[in-house]
Structure 1
Amino acid sequence: MAFAQRPGDRQKLESAKIAHITEKLSLTPEVAQQFWPVYNQIKEKERELRKQEMEMRRNEANNTMTDAEAEQALAKFFELKEQQLALEKDAAEQYQDVLSPKQVVQLFKAEAEFHRMVLQKFSERRKGGRPPQ
């Protein structure tokens, strides 16, 4: 989503993601109404953890760290990774309150697929090529 630079791009990208996931999971309107609030809440938590990781990496990018500071940084890094894994597990459980286990697997696959598509289109635009229609 960070690729959306122009006004409206972020909204278009979000709408495309919603459509992609809805189609891949064959969500009915009733299930979608229950699913999307849960999904959005989990994604907000994921964004916060990624933000913390980026901040941590930025703060520790300098080479003036002592060994003790580096040990603390490593401990923080792995603590953050554990939090991310715990969130993924919790997300899978919460999704299963609304979706079947098969749909949860399809969701993870659809998210990865959408991410690859976005990266591919971004790469094509950077190279000056036109994305396939």
Structure 2
Amino acid sequence: MKIKNILPLILFLLSFSFYGQKTDEKREKIKAFKVSFLTTELELTSTEAEKFWPIYNAYDDKQFELRHLKMKTYLRKLDDDNINSITEKEAVTLLSQMESTDKELYLLKEKYMSNLKKILSAKKILKLRKSEDDINRKLLQQYRDKAKDKD
């Protein structure tokens, strides 16, 4: 194969890997922000923290995988052009896959809550839920602010 033919392929692959790294960097920054925020808000004892973080991180990673990786695949298929062109059979399959992912998310959350109840008080679990909502609001506001700055 000639260099002329390989060069565009290499550039494409490099740009794709940089995009992936950028996304991973953003995710890591968000994770660090969450850890800092939750540590402050929950006032975990060292024993609680030792048990909490592995459970939280496993839950967060699996939830991310289900919501962002699987659901994005489904949502891409649901854009206006695709939804009008898929067959009823394809629609039934897609709907079934989405329902399956929703069930996985529900079962994951149920297991997570059960595990949390073993190590945290109900009051701290409520604080955690409120803190996660606060984090999401802050992140959304930052996103909106950045979008305004670009306009």
The answer for the alignment partner of 2:128 in structure 1 is 107
Q: Which among 27, 39, 43 is matched to residue 44 of structure 2?
A: 27
Structure 2: give runs of 5+ residues left out of the alignment: 1-21
The CA deviation string for residues 4-56 of structure 1, in whole angstroms up to 9 with x for no partner, is x5896544432221111112211122211111011111111111211111112
Distance in 1, matches of 2:25 and 2:93, equals: 41
Larger Rg: 2
Q: What are the ranges of 5 or more consecutive residues in structure 1 without an aligned counterpart? A: none
1:1-133 equivalences in 2 (<5 Å): 5=22, 9-50=26-67, 51-61=69-79, 62=82, 63-128=84-149
Whether the aligned pair in 2 keeps the contact of 1:21 and 1:110 (CA below 8 Å) is yes
Percent of aligned positions that are identical? 28
- Aligned residues: CA RMSD: 2.2
More helix by share: 2
State the TM-score, normalized to the length of structure 2.
0.73
Amino acid at match of 1:56: Y
Match of 1:97, SS state, is helix
Paired residue total: 125
Task: Report deviation, 1:112.
Answer: 1.3
Poorly superposed stretches of 4+, deviation over 6 Å: none
